[in-house]
Structure 1
Amino acid sequence: MWDSVVLVPAPATKISPKDLETFSAFVLKCKKAKFAVRDRERLRRQGDLRAELEETLEAQKQRELDRVSAQLDRKELGQIEASERGQEILESFDRKVSELRAVFIAADPANHKPREIPDHLVDMITFEPMHDPVTSKNGHSYERATIYEHLKRSPTDPLTRDPLTVNDLRPNFGLRAACEEFWESGASEWIVDW
């Protein structure tokens, strides 16, 4: 039954380099959309965590104030001492909440560079950001290790399908400088989400 299934396109079907570029652009767009969804979820969780921590601090403050009030009722503390302790508890709470908010503000991506990878830094074979880009004779840039592996299997440019050898590749110094700047900007801290 399955013997008649066509596993490859018919010989008359031709895939043009433009089709491959369009497909690569589509894969990159999908990968970026998936990353954006995960990033929004991370931000939502971060907001939930902040609210939960503030509620915990509020509950702790209330327990301490209730304890001071109970000590005052049992006459273990005088009115002035209870008032002073209550004031210390309130000041401590305000300080902790301020510090907590400062930490979350510092961690807020809105206060940092955006977590996105420029298209020109993405290798069109693996769809990962590049470290050591090289340029083919057709002007396409690839990660050196990735294109070397590809050329071991198929001596063609992955996007144009034109013949290509390792000798046809040249270092892309300008793109390499851009890649280094990208990595030095702190991308290694969040790139695992990509």
Structure 2
Amino acid sequence: MSFELKERGNQLYKEGDYNGAEELYSQAISKNPREPTFFTNRALTRTKLEKWAGVEQDARAAVDLYGQKSPNSLKSRWYLAQALLGLHRSQEAYEVAIDAYRASLTAKSGQTENLSKTVLRAKQAIWAAKETSRLREMNQTLTTMEQLIETDLKRGLDDLQGQLDRGAIGETGFLEDQKALREDSEKNIQNLREAFRIASKGEVQERVVPDYLVDGITFEIMHDPVITPSGTSFDRIGITKYVEQSGVDPITRAPSSVNDLRPNYALKAACEEFLTNNGWAVDW
């Protein structure tokens, strides 16, 4: 019966009825709480609904059921990292994602690319938090204005939660409005920072590392990038070690050797120019 509920949930998920799918997966879990796929399916559904606390709960339950060391847990650990990012716990997200990423390399798992992207997102979130602290230390007026924006966001989110609790709005509307409030707040802060950048003639500005300069294995800025047959660039040391150990391309899983790697001179020049003009990025 529980697996029938799961299959019905899968059908609703495919149709885009995420709330209905979540309910059926919940019923399946209540009947069989030892089946990890029920939790992973509900975690995925809750990801679509951006119910991050629920995603965290389900992902952790699935990891416990699969076993931390099992390759089968890698997808659940990816969901967990996404949930932690959604909950603004970027350091925890990074630790979960980088550990799972390394395990995926050993297991030659199809989750490697997803985990790689999540590691980078977590690292960017950690850096963004540090940049916020740095910018606010530089300018008290900026600090005060950003805190006003954040206070306004909290007030709006609390009001939405009250409407949900009173039944004035449904859960779908609540999630949509919540997302819109967060996006507006982020946009307002970025506009504010741009205004301060212009006013200070560049002295007060956010520092950002472009994604294309970051290695997908070490997650550091590349200094000697090479390109694989699949068209993806990596820093030479990391990809050489990876290919020697695994014998496959980390993205396509196709057979590969060190001889297949070719220097990416244009990207190397871009990395060198960026580091020359942004010495702080060495410690990114």
The structure-2 alpha-carbon separation of the partners of 1:153 and 1:109, relative to structure 1 and needing over 3 Å to count, comes to farther
Displacement after TM superposition at 1:5 (Å): 4.6
SS at match of 1:142: strand
Residue among 179, 185, 188 paired with 2:279: 188
Contact 1:135 1:171 in 2 (8 A): yes
Displacement after TM superposition at 1:35 (Å): 0.1
What is aligned with 1:32?
124
What is aligned with 1:135?
227
Aligned-residue sequence identity (percent) comes to: 41
The structure-2 alpha-carbon separation of the partners of 1:182 and 1:5, relative to structure 1 and needing over 3 Å to count, comes to closer
More helix by share: 2
Contact 2:244 2:257 in 1 (8 A): no
What is aligned with 1:168?
260
User: Matches of 1:184 and 1:5 in 2, distance apart?
Assistant: 46
User: Matches of 1:190 and 1:172 in 2, distance apart?
Assistant: 20
Contact 1:125 1:158 in 2 (8 A): no
Alignment map for 1:6-155 (pairs within 5 Å): 7-9=69-71, 15-16=109-110, 19-47=111-139, 108-110=203-205, 114-155=206-247
What is aligned with 2:79?
none
- 1:116 partner letter: V
User: Greater relative contact order: 1 or 2 (C-alpha under 8 angstroms, separation 6 or more)?
Assistant: 1
What is aligned with 1:83?
none
State the superposition RMSD in angstroms.
2.8
Contact 1:136 1:170 in 2 (8 A): yes
What is aligned with 2:99?
none
User: Matches of 2:253 and 2:220 in 1, distance apart?
Assistant: 21
User: Matches of 1:141 and 1:125 in 2, distance apart?
Assistant: 10
Contact 2:138 2:204 in 1 (8 A): no
Displacement after TM superposition at 1:179 (Å): 1.0
Displacement after TM superposition at 1:22 (Å): 2.4
The structure-2 alpha-carbon separation of the partners of 1:176 and 1:5, relative to structure 1 and needing over 3 Å to count, comes to closer
The structure-2 alpha-carbon separation of the partners of 1:41 and 1:167, relative to structure 1 and needing over 3 Å to count, comes to same
Displacement after TM superposition at 1:33 (Å): 0.9
Displacement after TM superposition at 1:177 (Å): 1.6
Displacement after TM superposition at 1:107 (Å): 8.2
Give the TM-score, by structure 1 length. 0.56
Give the TM-score, by structure 2 length. 0.40
User: Matches of 1:137 and 1:190 in 2, distance apart?
Assistant: 29
Structure 2: runs of 5 or more not aligned: 1-65, 76-107, 141-199
User: Matches of 2:265 and 2:229 in 1, distance apart?
Assistant: 15
The structure-2 alpha-carbon separation of the partners of 1:150 and 1:7, relative to structure 1 and needing over 3 Å to count, comes to same
SS at match of 1:134: strand
- 2:282 partner letter: I
The structure-2 alpha-carbon separation of the partners of 1:146 and 1:109, relative to structure 1 and needing over 3 Å to count, comes to farther
